[in-house]
Amino acid sequence: MRWFAIVLTIFLSAIAVMGQIGQMAPVFYGFSNSVIDHNGRLLIFDASYFYPPTLTTEAIPVRFPPTVRTRVTVIENDASNKRDAQYDGTFQVIGVGRYAVYAIITNYAVAATPVQAPTSMTRQLVALGLSFPTLPSVDVPLQTDAKVSAVGDDGELDTITFVDNVVRPLADVSTGTVLPVPPIPTEPRTVQMFRSDGKSFKALPPVVLSSP
C-alpha cells in the first residue's frame, strides 16, 4: 500500500507539471566538438540550444524553434593560454588549413509571432586563426558544398572551394518511380574558389561547369 501511494504521488505530480508546461522555464541542452589546428592548438566548440517557453495565449499552444549559441575555446599547444568567445549559430568544421581552421556557421533567425514562426537561415564560412576572437567570414550559398585544401608548401595560402550542388529528380515514395521536376529557371553551376591567410578571403574568378 505504501508503494502504491508513492507511485500515485509521482503520477499526480507529473500531471501537474504537464498542465503547467506553458509556464515552464526555458529549456537548455547542448553538445561539444573539438579539433586541433596545424599549429597544435586545440579548439573546442560547445553549442547550447535554448527553447523559449511555450506560448499558451493562443487556442493551440505554440512552441517556437530554439535559438543556438556556440562558445569557442582556443587552448595554445603548450597549454600556456586559453581564450574563448561566444557566437550565434552552430559551427560545422569543414577543414584544417595551414593558417586557420575553417568552419561554416549556420544560424536561424526566428520571427516569434503568435500566428506563425517563420525562420530564415544564413550560412557563413569563417576562419578561426590568429585573428580570433575576430572571425573573418564570407557568405556561403545554401545549395553549396564547401571544401578546404590539404596543407600545401610553406608560404602557400589555404584554398577553399564552393561547388554548386546538382538538383536531382524527386522519387515517388509510394511507387519508387522518378517524377519529372517542374521546369524552373536555372543558372549555370559554378565553382567559386578563395585563397585565405586566416585573416581574410580573396575570391578567384568563378569557373562555370558544364551541365551534367
94 belongs to a structural domain: yes
Sign of CA dihedral 128, 130, 132, 138: negative
Identify whether 2 is part of a domain.
no
What single-letter DSSP state applies at residue 14? H
Does 10 map to a domain?
A: no
pLDDT at 113: 55
Residue pointed to by grid coordinates 569557373: 207
Question: SS3 for 8?
Answer: helix
Predicted confidence band of residue 66 (pLDDT cuts 50, 70, 90): confident
Strand partners, 162: 146, 192
Number of folded domains that form the chain: 1
C-alpha cell at position 96? 584544417
Is residue 5 in some structural domain? no
Alpha carbons 90 and 126: distance in angstroms, whole number: 12
Assess whether pLDDT exceeds 80 at residue 58: no
* Residue at 87 is within a domain: yes
Per-residue pLDDT of 100-154, as tens digits, reads 999 999 987 766 554 555 567 889 999 999 999 999 999 998 888 899 987 667 7
Dump pLDDT digits (tens) for 154-184. 778 999 999 987 655 555 555 555 555 555 5
Cα 206–chain centre separation: 25
DSSP tag of 188: -
Q: For residue 3, is it within any domain?
A: no
How far apart are alpha carbons 146 and 6 in whole angstroms? 56
- Judge if pTM exceeds 0.75: no
Write out the residue range of the structural domain in which residue 127 sits: 21-208
Domain-embedded: residue 89: yes
Distance from the first to the final alpha carbon of the chain: 73
Any domain includes 11: no
Q: Which of 21-35, 63-77, 193-207 has the lowest mean pLDDT?
A: 21-35
